[in-house]
Amino acid sequence: MSLLQELGAQLRAASDELPTGLVSVAMERLRSATELLNWVRQTSVDPIGVPQLGNATEHAEHAAAALRLAQDAIAAYLAALGLAADAAAPPDRDWKAGLGKEDEQPAPAEQQEHKPPPERLGPWWRERVEKLTGEAPPPAQEGGAQQERSATTAELLRRVAAGVRSGDRARLGRDLHGVNAATGLGLSAVSSPVLQRLAGDLLGHEPGPEDLPRLRTAAGGRVKSLLPGTPPAVLDTLLARICRTPPAKGEPAHPADSAVTASVLTGVLLARLGRDPETLDPSAPEPLRPRGVDA
């Protein structure tokens, strides 16, 4: 290997190690928290941390943009050196950032004794899921508390994607009703890098503002059929974020609307690509990007 080739390999490795996926997940979690607090704020005169979260989200957005700019600059530099093969970035792995199991450190004995009781399903989450899907929650005795606590957000995303693939709205409703609000709201953060990757695979290139109508045509009808109660602006906002274009101004969406719609949109794009929901497992082989699929 020549000195130039070694330099190219080191630059590519540095580009691949940039934590763009982790920053994207953190940004979406901050955005979800802001949406939730904005919703709560409607019944309170206390700003309850919304300005601070807004500032943190803005910083995360700037960090994500800077990381993408750095990757683009490295690719351009490698191309200028004549290392075309190195300049062509491999399929990104950022979409796996939120799908891994979170490390659980055992709490000290004293903390375990004073540990608060596990979260119970609040009526607002089930009420919102029922409004979005049109499916009523199961009777209380049918809801297994152990299953509700053990399900992770990544597992829920795979379940939702499986329900979308089968076209079973009743199954979709059961899966969403069967988790607590924290797990459900986490769908927004986990699905964000996944959606970016799936949209790019469907289009055959990184999504841009000009791709917004195409993605809306490819996914809009299926999402609306599975979530008949979802406001149209929620899907439009998600697609605008994927295409990196400013969403239309309007009333803040309910945080559950964004989370549920993002998970269903993930399932729709997976189905359009002919992929199994189990490909959303971090240990699954990296899917190949098609040259282009006519949407």
Please give the Cα distance from 295 to 217 (Å, whole number): 7
Pick from 94, 110, 140: which residue ends a domain? 94
For residues 161 and 203, state if they share a domain. yes
For residues 143 and 281, state if they share a domain. yes
Question: Could you give the count of Cα atoms lying within 13 Å of 80 in the half-sphere of its Cβ?
Answer: 6
Question: Which of 236, 229, 294 shows the shortest CA–CA distance to 265?
Answer: 236
Whether 99 maps to a domain, the answer reads no
Per-residue pLDDT of the chain (295 residues; tens, 9 = 90+): 677 777 777 777 777 777 777 777 777 777 767 666 666 665 555 555 556 666 776 777 677 778 778 877 887 877 777 776 544 445 556 677 778 765 444 445 555 555 555 545 457 888 999 999 999 988 765 444 434 545 788 999 999 999 999 999 999 999 999 998 888 988 988 888 899 889 999 999 889 999 999 999 999 999 999 999 999 999 999 999 899 888 877 776 788 899 999 999 999 999 999 999 999 987 777 776 665 554 4
For residues 288 and 148, state if they share a domain. yes
For residues 133 and 75, state if they share a domain. no
For residues 70 and 166, state if they share a domain. no
Residue labelled with tokens 């927004």: 188
Which tens digits make up the pLDDT trace of 227-244?
999 999 999 999 998 998
Residue labelled with tokens 């993002």: 262
For residues 10 and 85, state if they share a domain. yes
State pTM to two decimals.
0.72
For residues 183 and 267, state if they share a domain. yes
Whether 245 maps to a domain, the answer reads yes
Residue labelled with tokens 């691949």: 16
Whether 263 maps to a domain, the answer reads yes
For residues 196 and 269, state if they share a domain. yes
162 within 8 A of 192, measured Cβ to Cβ: no
Domain count, the chain: 2
Whether 7 maps to a domain, the answer reads yes
Whether 104 maps to a domain, the answer reads no
Whether 109 maps to a domain, the answer reads no
> Domain range for residue 79?
1-94
Please give the Cα distance from 230 to 48 (Å, whole number): 27
Give the pLDDT of residue 113.
57
Pick from 94, 110, 130: which residue ends a domain? 94
What phi and psi values does residue 196 have, to the nearest 5 degrees? -60, -45
Q: Which amino acid is at 189?
A: A
269 within 8 A of 157, measured Cβ to Cβ: no
For residues 58 and 192, state if they share a domain. no
For residues 242 and 158, state if they share a domain. yes
Give the pLDDT of residue 147.
44
Please give the Cα distance from 129 to 86 (Å, whole number): 46
Whether 101 maps to a domain, the answer reads no
* Helix/strand/coil for 208: coil
Whether 106 maps to a domain, the answer reads no
Pick from 44, 76, 94: which residue ends a domain? 94
Give, as one character, the DSSP assignment of residue 140: G
Give the pLDDT of residue 106.
46
For residues 88 and 224, state if they share a domain. no
Let me know how long the chain is.
295
Please give the Cα distance from 125 to 256 (Å, whole number): 7
Please give the Cα distance from 56 to 47 (Å, whole number): 15
For residues 189 and 279, state if they share a domain. yes
